[in-house]
Structure 1
Amino acid sequence: MSAGWGWGLLVASGCIDVAWALATKKADGFRDPAWTALSLVLLAAFVVLLTKALQVLPVGTAYAVWTGIGAAGSVVAGILLFGEPADPVRLVFAAITMMGIVGLRLAG
């Protein structure tokens, strides 16, 4: 597998991680069986893709990028879907996280 494919799998895994976080929230502490099942499927999917990506990418950079995608994506999704606060401080730090992701990708 090429590094390009690795980065693609890593981004897909990060996006699935965001979906997993949302499904886990909707699972309501495992009280909703359908959302719980979806959460577990998404968990397995992002782990598989992350594992494949790490076969060709440097672990430090890849894990930092993956974590950043999940963190920033979860902030945005929480604001859009759950009405979480969109105050300027949160948005600035989410933007800093995204800048870090881009910087790590460019440096890697």
Structure 2
Amino acid sequence: MSIERFHTGPRMSQAVVHGDTVYLAGQVGEPGASVSAQTTKCLEQVDALLAECGSKKENILQAVIWLADMSDFAEMNAVWDAWVPQGHTPARACGEAKLATPDYKVEFIITAAK
């Protein structure tokens, strides 16, 4: 079975397609922006990458969300809830973690069907 990689750099690819499954690298927003703004940017990037890979948000199987601070959970969810298609919500986990820099507040890791 073939493997197709998108936006491949020396460390990682932004997306990998294996068979009918799309794996996205962790998506982050503009460093230092609000949680809402970073979440919006992440989800825009998810939409664009999924489209490039022949998928869409209705096909998301799993979302893993990391917040730098769980006190931002409601703010992130307000953006997520407006974006995620009702009736097509994926399996989801959300936890707190130190992200690559203190300026990142949220990161999304997505797996979708093609």
State the TM-score, normalizing by the size of structure 2.
0.33
State the TM-score, normalizing by the size of structure 1.
0.34
- The structure with the largest strand share of the pair is 2
Whose radius of gyration is greater, 1 or 2?
1
